[in-house]
Amino acid sequence: MLAGAAAWGAPKTGEDARQAQMALTRLEATALEHGEGVTRDTGRAAQLYCEAARAGDAESQYRLGWMYANGRGVERDDSAAAYFFHAAAEQGVAQAQAMLQRVGAPDGSVPACMRPPPPPQPVVAAAPPPAPQPVWAPKAIATLVQKMAPTFRVEPQLVLAIMKAESNFDVDALSPKSAMGLMQLIPETAQRFNVKNPYDATQNIRGGMAYLRWLLAYFEGDVALVAAAYNAGEGTVERYRGVPPYRETREYVERILRTLGAVALPYDKRITAPSPRLAAIREQRTALR
């Protein structure tokens, strides 16, 4: 869950490199926007801000929102401005919240600027999908997961990947926003899935598996959406029509996908009806390709 960010531990080298690149992209955009040491080019600045915004950089999202709100380097578009201000505000940029008072609430549309560039055409046959990466876990916890997973019809590798991301297998983990235990259940989630003691490993895993089972049914087995919802909430995923543009969440989803080696998993459709926004999410995903 979003509150459990501290449980990630030290970032990996690849993530450090991505963050460094994102910062460099933002600095280049700022220089171009203001003509600092280079010829001023607000159009190119907007493009670079958008590259960093797609990766979840909150400051770039705020600056791009400002450009859309003022028609600077881009055509004025309050809807696009609201999208970027809202994303930045939810990542803690206070000025973005103030700007939302000016441009209004986002209307749910995703700016064209957020469309990722098309992948290069392969010159050789497509590589096979990456193999799953085994997750090391303490033997007692791994045994519990393997024992309980069939009851919930949840892939053990998914449970262990989420658990490692959330708490690094710390039974006593507590986040600044009160996410608790191995699977970092917030109080509302613990209550929702009848977890009386979140610091009891068996109860915590049972609650986390019940939530994952529900998310898998709600998003029809789409691992990226399930992981994003576990991190940021299913309502946030629905509001952004996909993985929200938060750096933490996007890195979280990448980790889970890389560990799992799969983009879809079986699910039990009897658990819950699918998200009423799922068709819109899929439509948006198709449009952004």
**146 and 74 in one domain?**
no
Which pLDDT value is given to residue 2? Answer: 46
Q: Which segments of 125-222 does DSSP mark as H helices, in order?
A: 139-152, 156-167, 187-192, 201-218
CATH number of residue 261's parent domain: 1.10.530.10
The answer to whether residues 199 and 212 touch, using CB atoms and an 8 Å cutoff, is no
Domain membership flag for residue 128: no
Which pLDDT value is given to residue 177? Answer: 86
The answer to whether residues 59 and 95 touch, using CB atoms and an 8 Å cutoff, is no
Domain membership flag for residue 237: yes
Domain membership flag for residue 61: yes
**70 and 18 in one domain?**
yes
**267 and 143 in one domain?**
yes
Domain membership flag for residue 81: yes
Which pLDDT value is given to residue 263? Answer: 93
Last residue of a domain, one of 114, 147, 174: 114
**147 and 110 in one domain?**
no
Domain membership flag for residue 123: no
Domain membership flag for residue 132: no
pTM, two decimals, is 0.82
Task: Please tell me the number of Cα atoms within 13 Å of 256 on its side-chain side.
Answer: 30
**224 and 161 in one domain?**
yes
User: Catalytic positions, please?
Assistant: 166
Q: Which residue segment(s) compose the domain that 95 sits in?
A: 10-114
Q: Which segments of the chain does DSSP mark as H helices, in order?
A: 13-34, 42-54, 58-70, 78-90, 94-103, 139-152, 156-167, 187-192, 201-218, 223-232, 234-239, 247-260, 278-287
Which pLDDT value is given to residue 123? Answer: 53
Last residue of a domain, one of 65, 98, 114: 114
Which pLDDT value is given to residue 9? Answer: 40
Q: What residues contact 1, with CB distance under 8 A and at least 6 apart?
A: 166, 175, 179, 184, 185, 186, 189, 230, 231, 232, 233
Q: How many domains does the chain have?
A: 2
Domain membership flag for residue 106: yes
**77 and 173 in one domain?**
no
**272 and 163 in one domain?**
yes
CATH number of residue 17's parent domain: 1.25.40.10
Which pLDDT value is given to residue 18? Answer: 77
**269 and 143 in one domain?**
yes
**14 and 55 in one domain?**
yes
**79 and 194 in one domain?**
no
**196 and 70 in one domain?**
no
Last residue of a domain, one of 114, 148, 164: 114
Domain membership flag for residue 122: no
How far is CA 285 from its chain centroid?
Answer: 15
**206 and 77 in one domain?**
no
- The tens-digit pLDDT sequence of the chain (289 residues) is 544 333 334 444 566 777 888 889 999 999 999 999 999 999 999 999 999 999 899 999 999 999 999 999 999 999 999 999 999 999 999 999 999 988 988 888 888 888 765 555 555 555 566 677 888 999 999 999 999 999 999 999 999 999 999 999 999 999 998 999 999 999 999 999 999 999 999 999 999 999 999 999 999 999 999 999 999 999 999 999 999 999 999 999 999 999 999 999 999 999 999 999 999 998 887 765 5
